[in-house]
């Protein structure tokens, strides 16, 4: 059985990311699979730099990693490449990300900026669409706009996916989540603040939502 493990919005919580990767390796029983991270690696939490360093280091031999872009990752790139965008990034939690680099924009390695900028927006397999925020069900996948993929919020009563494909996303945080619907799964549990990160486990041979959830816990953020 081939499995895909999906890690949602990390937001600078290197501790939760490291624990999630260790738990995935343990639960897999040595059967390597695919890990999909669905964006928002930076901002708000304490160690955005550590998160990027960890993901740049890659995953264990035999495993594959697909890292997708989130809206906060795009905000960071925009600010560091054009200071005119710095105030917007700071207002969205970029101050915490910058602090993890010592507070100096010039100290952010170009390799980190290039990595964030080059991330994919979507991953599709036989049964699912993996994306940071969501997809427009009325537009072909190949024509989806970046703003939709990075910023979309689904209406509360919308439970569908994308046709026969189940949509796996984050972005719209629900501390009591994850939210499991017939057509889509929202894994974002506001982990940077709650200290609770939930990894979705999906069977590549079967349609629908997760067959298992892996919950890792750390300290909640100080209020």
pLDDT at 223: 59
Number of other CB atoms surrounding residue 178 within 10 Å? 20
pLDDT at 61: 85
pTM here is 0.97
What CA–CA distance (Å, rounded) separates 120 from 74? 11
> With contact defined as beta carbons under 8 Å apart, do 42 and 173 qualify?
no
* Alpha-helix runs per DSSP H in 6-145: 14-28, 48-56, 71-81, 86-89, 95-99, 110-117
Q: Residue ranges of the chain with pLDDT lower than 50?
A: none
Encode pLDDT of 125-167 as tens digits.
Answer: 999 999 999 999 999 999 999 999 999 999 988 999 999 999 9
> Architecture of domain 3-217 in CATH?
4-Layer Sandwich (3.60)
Identify which of 208, 214, 212, 204 has the alpha carbon closest to the alpha carbon of residue 4: 204
Dihedral Cα 68, 70, 73, 77, nearest 10 deg: 90
What CA–CA distance (Å, rounded) separates 96 from 64? 29
pLDDT at 20: 97
What CA–CA distance (Å, rounded) separates 43 from 51? 11
pLDDT at 1: 73
Let me know the angle formed at the C-alpha of 6 by 166 and 174, rounded to the nearest 5 degrees. 80
With residues binned 3-state (H G I as helix, E B as strand, rest as coil), the percentages for the chain, rounded to 5, are 35, 20, 45
Domain locations along the chain: 3-217
């Amino acid at each position: 059985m081939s499995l895909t493990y999906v890690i949602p919005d990390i937001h600078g919580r290197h501790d939760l990311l490291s624990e999630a990767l260790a738990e995935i390796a343990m639960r897999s029983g040595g059967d390597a699979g695919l890990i999909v991270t669905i964006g928002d690696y930076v901002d708000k939490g304490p160690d955005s730099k550590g998160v990027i360093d960890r993901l740049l280091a890659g995953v264990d031999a035999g495993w594959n990693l697909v890292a997708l872009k989130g809206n906060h990752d795009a905000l960071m790139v925009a600010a560091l490449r054009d200071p005119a965008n710095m105030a917007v990034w700071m207002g969205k939690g970029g101050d915490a990300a910058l602090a993890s680099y010592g507070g100096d924009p010039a100290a952010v390695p170009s390799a980190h900026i290039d990595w964030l900028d080059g991330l994919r927006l979507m991953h599709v397999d036989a049964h699912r669409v993996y994306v940071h925020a969501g997809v427009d069900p009325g537009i072909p996948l190949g024509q989806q706009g970046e703003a939709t993929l990075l910023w979309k919020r689904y209406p509360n009563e919308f439970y569908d996916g994308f046709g026969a494909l189940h949509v796996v996303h984050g972005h719209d945080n629900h501390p009591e989540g994850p939210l499991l619907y017939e057509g889509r799964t929202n894994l974002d549990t506001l982990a940077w603040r709650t200290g609770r990160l939930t990894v979705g486990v999906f069977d590549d041979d079967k349609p629908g939502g997760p067959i298992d959830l892996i919950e890792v816990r750390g300290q909640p953020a100080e209020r």
